[in-house]
Amino acid sequence: MKTKLPRPTTLTSEVDQSADQTASPPASNPKADEPAPGTGIPAILLRVTDPPRPLPDSLDYSQPLVTLCWRVLNREREKIQESAQAKTGRLQRAIAEMARETYGLREIASALQTGDAAMSKNSHIQRLESIQRRIARILDECAIRVLAPVGQAYAGELVEIFDNIAQKPEAGLQEPRIAEVVSPAVLVENSLLLPGRAVIAVPAPPALAIPPTAQTSSGATAVASERKDSTAIKNNNRRKRTREQ
């Protein structure tokens, strides 16, 4: 008949116990570097300095340490699977709702093309606004963000998120800015899913100014040239009259 041992109140392992028994406190003691039984690792490295933790009711003193570790890792795997399944469910519902909203947009486009008099312009605008709000809610539930930061400085993370497809010089600008968003960027849980494309406004180069000295010299040269041409004409006329006489 086996004698039932009392259940311990703290969680310890055989490796911890052997390490405590084998390791020597002083670092200068050669026995401190001896391996713990059955491990090949210095016993001093296996010492647990944390205080003992209470043993959960679901565990038994006879369970080995490897079993406890397996249970912890298995529970972590289950949590990861549950999170992935929940995320997949949200995405599937979002796709279904987006498909429904696409049908509503197609109806509005068809009514505008055929000029349906049953619905006024204000009615179409109200339906479009309602669809836009529902799509924004769907994206928010899936942690999806659409970025179109027109007017913001083109620096930092925006340089990585938006491709610079064209540049537009602007006078008086101190730093590059996003002037126009051709296609917005899409982020999922702060991770870039689809990069954006933008036109970047850049500081315009300064206008070329002519120095005053250059203007004076060019003006004097022009006057001298006119005088030279006038003198040459007068001399030619004088020669002609002399020949005629």
Phi-psi label, residue 76: left if phi above 0, alpha if psi -120 to 50, beta otherwise? alpha
**pLDDT for 32:** 58
In the predicted model, is pLDDT for residue 179 greater than 80?
Answer: yes
- Residue 178 burial (10 A CB sphere; 0-12, 13-18, 19+): buried
- β-pair type (162-170, 196-203): parallel
Contact 19, 43 (CB under 8 A): yes
Selected residue with higher pLDDT from 184 and 244: 184
Bridge partner list, 164: 198
- β-pair type (196-203, 191-194): unpaired
Question: What average pLDDT does the structure give for the chain?
Answer: 76
**pLDDT for 219:** 55
Please state, in angstroms and rounded to a whole number, the distance separating the CA atoms of residues 109 and 99.
Answer: 15
Of 18-32, 65-79, 147-161, 202-216, the one with minimum mean pLDDT is 18-32
- List, for residues 49-61, the tens digit of each pLDDT value: 777 766 666 666 6
Of 81-90, 130-139, 203-212, 217-226, the one with minimum mean pLDDT is 217-226
pLDDT band for position 184 (cuts 50, 70, 90):
very high
Q: How many CB atoms neighbour CB 158 within 10 A? A: 19
**Residues 199-203, mean pLDDT to the nearest whole number:** 93
Please state, in angstroms and rounded to a whole number, the distance separating the CA atoms of residues 159 and 49.
Answer: 48
- The full DSSP string for 47-66 is ---SPPPBPPTT--TTS-HH
Comparing C-alpha atoms, which of 148, 151, 106 is closest to residue 127? 106
Of 84-98, 130-144, 154-168, 196-210, the one with minimum mean pLDDT is 196-210
In the predicted model, is pLDDT for residue 139 greater than 50?
Answer: yes
| DSSP H or E run through 203 | strand 196-203
Q: Looking at residue 7, what DSSP letter applies?
A: P
Selected residue with higher pLDDT from 92 and 31: 92
- Amino acid (one-letter) located at 173: L
Please state, in angstroms and rounded to a whole number, the distance separating the CA atoms of residues 135 and 130.
Answer: 9
**pLDDT for 197:** 94
- β-pair type (191-194, 185-188): antiparallel
- Taking the CA atoms of residue 49, residue 51, residue 52 and residue 58 in that order, the dihedral angle to the nearest 10 degrees is -110
- List, for residues 36-53, the tens digit of each pLDDT value: 777 777 777 777 777 776
Selected residue with higher pLDDT from 199 and 33: 199
Token code pair at residue 48: 């647990």
**pLDDT for 239:** 67
